[in-house]
Chain A
Amino acid sequence: MTLRESLSQNYKPIIYFILFVLIGFPLLHPLGLPLPIDQDCRDVYNKIESLKAGDVAVVTQYIGGGNRAELYPQYKAVLEHLLRKDGVKIILEEAGTESPIFSQLVLQELNAFKRKTYGVDFVDLGYIPGDEAAIAGLCRDLHALVSKDYYGTPIDQIPMLKDVNTAKDFTIVVDITASADSQFWLNQAYAPYRTAIALGMASAKVPDAYAYYKAGQIFGILESLKGAAQYEFLTGSPGLAIIGMDAQSLAHLYIAFLIVAGNVAFFMGRKKK
């Protein structure tokens, strides 16, 4: 068997190895490729930047082990920005059974308990089962739905929630998810109360969200790892997402090359026949 025949039969390990190197190398040695900022990401940044003391920001997430790489950097970047805003009340809510783990992790990593006062500046409501019904309940009457926060403190004893009752009291909602619950917030918060909503999405869900963004029903989108990296850049707190974008860029370039190479091989093979 010639080298050419061997390569044409065993090309998969070669493709995998090159991809592994292209992803691994920039993670160890970041390339610092330029990162243009999308308008939908800038809109999220500008809206959060415009929040004033007393405004209420609800940040909800459905992060799991599988989508952590795409969504957790978004969550961290948005919360970092919100924690910098003086007087803005932050309400965390989780839509997945494993999501509270990531809320606790981000609060630790951002040193939230030392930077702000729990119960006055931010609160974690924990996981609320029920999907759309849970979101509807939060929007209708938060106090009727939730009796205790994540740590077991009665909601009535949390000072920042005294004047927060319905979605009318939410200044913005940022929903970070790879699931259908982004649609639930539109149904339950935007449609009846016109609450401003932004979505942080995994890449597969971005086309859904973009239709709502273009229609003006959501004020911004964080598009997967790219959105997280752009947000990290805008907030001036570079993290894993910016490093990850270099790896993703090289992987995308490689995939484009493979598409072209596959087609060249296909047409050359057809010509020979």
Chain B
Amino acid sequence: MSIVFKKGTSVVLFVVAMIFFFDYFWKDPTLQGTATNLNNWVVVIAAFALGLGAYSLTVRHVQIIRKRGMLMPYSIALLVTMFTFIITGLVTHSISSPEYSFIYNSIIVPASQALYGMSSFFIASASYRALRAKSYESLVCLAAAMFILFLNAPIFGVINPILPSLGKIVWDTSISTGMRAILIGIGIGTLTTGLRIIIGQDKAPLGGGD
């Protein structure tokens, strides 16, 4: 049964991939309509996945609470927060209602921003402790970091107009070209993996493989 299921899904995957592939090159109305429908199914499935995610999260954290372990307070906090938002949204029929916005703006936004903002303090401390020119390689990294700082903060341009220009040179040459190489590598990797899945060489996404 399992082999039949895997074979079947492989065939479906191949057919769907071919529909999208040919649709990209041949603008046939029938093919286009089929591809659009298939694409919209993904959006519907993704919407269902949100509900499924909420359900599995609830089941998982109810289990943790039942065990009364060390993580119990966090699980209670998570479930209370999640259901507060869900119930408020359902009762007020909107996520931009004053009640919903009040909870979001007075709890989630300050907490998220505080967490995000704290990283600047760690960066400041780490820049004193960790960014040290212990070798030639680390010196190059350090110099690049300094040049990018020169570029990103206008105050360095006030101190000396040459400083941002140095940053711009590093940005345009090494960072831009390095990122392009990484992106091309990712593109080729994605294409190869995609082809392997489509022709059935890689069965891991279908629940098979080694």
| Interface positions of A (Cβ within 8 A of B) | 11-12, 15-16, 19-20, 23, 33-36, 64-69, 97-98, 100-101, 104-105, 128-131, 133-134, 136-137, 140-141, 144-145, 192, 203, 207-208, 210-211, 214-215, 223, 226, 245, 248-256, 258-259, 261-263, 266
Contacts and interface: CB of A to CB of B under 8 A. Distances in A.
A65 B155 contact: no
Q: Is the interface of B mostly helix, strand, loop or mixed?
A: helix
Nearest to B112: A65
B36 A33 contact: no
A259 B131 contact: yes
B180 A215 contact: yes
Given A36-B157, A210-B171, A104 B96 contact: yes
A249 B152 CA distance: 8
A152 to B, nearest CB: 9
The 4 A-B pairs of least Cβ separation, nearest first, read A65-B112, A252-B153, A133-B42, A130-B43
A67 B50 contact: no
Nearest to A245: B154
Contacts of A251: 120, 124, 153
Contacts of B37: 144
Contacts of A215: 180
Contacts of B95: 98, 100-101
B35 A140 contact: yes
B35 to A, nearest CB: 7
B127 A252 contact: no
Q: Among B36, B37, B127, B150, which residue has the most Cβ atoms of chain A within 10 A?
A: B127
A140 B40 CA distance: 10
Contact of B46 (A130, A256, A261): A130
Interface in B137-162: 142, 145-146, 149-150, 152-158
Contacts of B123: 255
Contact of A252 (B50, B129, B131, B149): B149
Interface residues of B, number: 60
Interface string B93-111: 0011000110010001101
A64 B158 CA distance: 33
B39 interface: yes
Given A33-B154, A137-B43, A255-B124, A211 B104 contact: no
Interface string B158-171: 10000010000001
A129 B149 contact: no
B176 A262 contact: no
Nearest to B177: A211
A192 B32 CA distance: 13
A15 B124 contact: yes
Contacts of B150: 256
B124 A249 contact: no
Given A15-B125, A64-B112, A133 B132 contact: no
B47 interface: yes
B179 interface: yes
Nearest to A100: B95
A33 B153 CA distance: 10
Contacts of B24: 192
Nearest to B129: A262
A34 B131 contact: no
Contacts of B149: 252, 255-256
B132 A263 contact: yes
B153 A211 contact: no
- Most A-side CB within 10 Å, residue of B47, B100, B152: B152
